[in-house]
C-alpha cells in the first residue's frame, strides 16, 4: 500500500470496469485521484462521496487534444506522480470475410489501445520524471502474450503495448519512474457487453472472472510492488511464455535488474 499512499493518480478509461474498480481502491489512500473517460454521468457517480476524487471528460482517441489535456491536468495537479493508462476496447475481426471488415473500427481499436498510450506518455513523462518518485501503470492483456482468433487486432494492440512497456521500463531504469504492467485475463466488464461486441450475444466469454476477483488480485500485486502483474489464467502464460522471453531479453539488455521483471 505504501507505494500508492498519498499519491496523486490519474486513471484513463475510468468511467467503468477496471479503471473504476482501481479508483475505488485508491480513494482511501491517495491525496487525489483524477478519473477520465467519455461518460460524465458515470464519472460523477464514481467520484461521489470521495472528497479527493476529481474527473475530466476526455476522449483518449482525440490525439490532438492530449497536449492541452496534459497541460491542464499538470497545472491543476502539480503533485501528479502516477498515471494508470487503462483505456481500451475490443472488436472482432475475421480476415476470411474481408468484405465485412470495417477499417474505421480497426483504426479506432489501435488508437484507443496503443497509439493514445504513446501520446499520453509523451506529454506526461516530462512532469513525472521531475517527481521524487513516480509510477506509470499500463493495463495490457493476457492476449498480448497469447493471441486468439476472434480478435486479432486487439491481440496485436496489446502485444504492442506489452513490448512498449518492457522497453519503457528499460529506458527509465535509471530514473525515479517505476513502470508496472497488469495482465488481465477475461474480466466480466463492459468490454464484452453486447452493445460493444454484438457477436458476443450474452456478453459471456469462457474462463471469465469477476471484476471484484480481478481487482483483488491486481491490487495485491500493486501493494507488493511488483513490476508485472498477471492475474488469473494470465499467470499460466506468464510463467510458461514470459519467463522464457525475459531470460532471453535479460541476456540482450544486461541482466534482470535492467528489465525490472518480477
Distance CA 84, CA 198 (A): 28
Cα 213 to Cα 16, 45, 79, 137, 217, distances in angstroms? 16, 22, 31, 19, 6
**Helix (H), strand (E) at residue 180:** strand 177-183
Q: Is 170 a catalytic residue?
A: no
Distance CA 8, CA 77 (A): 8
Choosing from 55, 114, 154, 237, the catalytic residue is: 154
Cα 204 to Cα 91, 189, 233, distances in angstroms? 15, 10, 17
Question: Scanning the structure block, which residue is given the C-alpha cell 504492467?
Answer: 181
Strands 134-139 and 32-37, bridge-based pairing: unpaired
203 and 115 in contact (C-beta within 8 Å)? Answer: no
Provide the annotated active-site residues: 154
Amino acid at each position: 500500500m505504501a507505494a500508492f499512499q498519498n499519491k496523486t493518480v490519474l486513471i484513463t478509461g475510468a468511467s467503468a470496469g477496471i479503471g473504476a474498480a482501481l479508483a475505488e481502491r485508491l480513494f482511501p489512500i491517495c491525496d487525489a485521484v483524477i478519473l477520465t473517460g467519455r461518460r460524465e454521468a458515470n464519472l460523477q457517480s464514481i467520484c461521489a462521496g470521495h472528497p479527493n476524487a476529481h474527473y475530466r471528460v476526455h476522449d483518449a482517441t482525440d490525439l490532438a487534444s492530449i497536449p492541452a489535456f496534459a497541460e491542464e491536468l499538470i497545472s491543476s495537479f502539480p503533485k501528479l506522480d502516477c498515471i494508470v493508462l487503462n483505456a481500451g476496447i475490443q472488436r472482432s475481426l475475421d480476415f476470411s470475410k474481408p468484405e465485412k471488415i470495417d477499417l474505421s473500427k480497426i483504426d479506432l481499436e489501435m488508437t484507443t489501445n496503443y497509439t493514445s498510450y504513446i501520446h499520453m506518455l509523451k506529454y506526461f513523462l516530462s512532469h513525472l520524471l521531475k517527481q521524487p518518485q513516480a509510477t506509470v501503470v499500463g493495463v495490457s492483456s493476457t492476449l498480448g502474450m497469447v493471441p486468439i482468433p476472434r480478435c486479432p487486432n486487439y491481440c496485436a494492440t496489446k502485444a504492442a503495448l506489452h513490448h512498449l512497456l518492457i522497453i519503457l521500463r528499460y529506458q527509465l531504469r535509471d530514473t525515479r519512474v517505476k513502470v508496472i504492467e497488469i495482465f488481465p485475463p477475461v474480466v466480466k466488464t463492459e468490454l464484452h457487453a453486447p452493445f460493444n461486441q454484438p457477436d458476443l450475444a450474452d456478453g459471456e466469454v469462457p474462463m471469465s472472472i469477476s471484476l471484484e476477483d480481478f481487482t483483488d488480485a491486481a491490487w495485491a500485486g500493486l501493494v507488493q510492488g511488483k513490476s508485472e502483474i498477471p492475474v488469473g489464467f494470465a499467470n499460466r502464460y506468464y510463467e510458461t511464455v514470459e519467463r522464457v522471453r525475459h531470460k532471453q531479453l535479460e541476456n540482450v539488455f544486461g541482466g534482470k535488474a535492467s528489465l525490472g521483471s518480477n
